[in-house]
Amino acid sequence: MEFSQTIASRHSCRSFLDTPVDTATIESVVEMAQRSPSWGNTQPWRIWVAGGAAAIAIRQGLVDRALSGNPPIPEIPMPLTFKGELKSRYADIGKSVLAVLGIDRNDEQMRNAHRANNANAFGAPVLLYVTVPEGQTPYVLLDAGAFINALCLAAADQGLGTCIQATLAHYPDIVRQNLPIPAEERIVVGIGLGYADTACQINRLRSIREPLEKILTFTGFY
């Protein structure tokens, strides 16, 4: 795929087929992502892959915990609120997802079902957990972010869907029960990986971006 096509085709996949993904494909995606830059080439990222029964156990554990109303206890603090334009953009994507799913904002039952689906990684057969070592500066998260983006693009290039999900990192004890993550590693996010259910409307949703002039400032050009 042309790089511009790969960039354009990547989007958050919110409905996966249960078709398995073979380990050789996952290895090639991770190997491509490893070319990402990092501070002093420290490469602080580590990836923990759950498939089969391990993925199902994590997803089920997360769904049960989310539905029991337990507050999230992530290892990396997560934003509770946003200011100004960030707040409205955050609200807009939430509204768009619910609208495509045909869920009324006041329909608490359907919203809970969507929360459960979120915790269930939208049915992704593979979960990738990204960790960084504890006790470092926030730059390890910048490095992890570069890695995660490259990983999602590499997956898109292989025809695979991804969804980066903070939700999958809400209850680290469940993740740690099922993956051999050392205590000194901090879980950043989980990423659902698999083949997209292209027949599902939610996978037709494309999030919008601001016009270029809003984010881009040239100085010193004629």
> Footprint of ligand FMN on this chain (CB under 6 A)?
11-12, 14, 93, 118, 163-167, 189, 207
Supply the minimum distance, in Å, between the C-beta of residue 220 and ligand FMN. 32
- Comparison of 49 and 196: residue with beta carbon closer to ligand FMN: 196
- Comparison of 26 and 153: residue with beta carbon closer to ligand FMN: 153
Supply the minimum distance, in Å, between the C-beta of residue 50 and ligand FMN. 17
- Comparison of 164 and 193: residue with beta carbon closer to ligand FMN: 164
**From residue 108, how far is each of 61, 71, 111, 112 by CA, in Å?**
22, 18, 5, 6
| The residue type at 119 | A
Q: Phi, psi (5° rounding) for residue 86?
A: -65, -40
Supply the minimum distance, in Å, between the C-beta of residue 164 and ligand FMN. 4
Supply the minimum distance, in Å, between the C-beta of residue 12 and ligand FMN. 4
**39 contact partners, CB below 8 Å, separation of at least 6:** 139, 140, 142, 143
CB 194 within 8 A of CB 17: yes
- Comparison of 14 and 186: residue with beta carbon closer to ligand FMN: 14
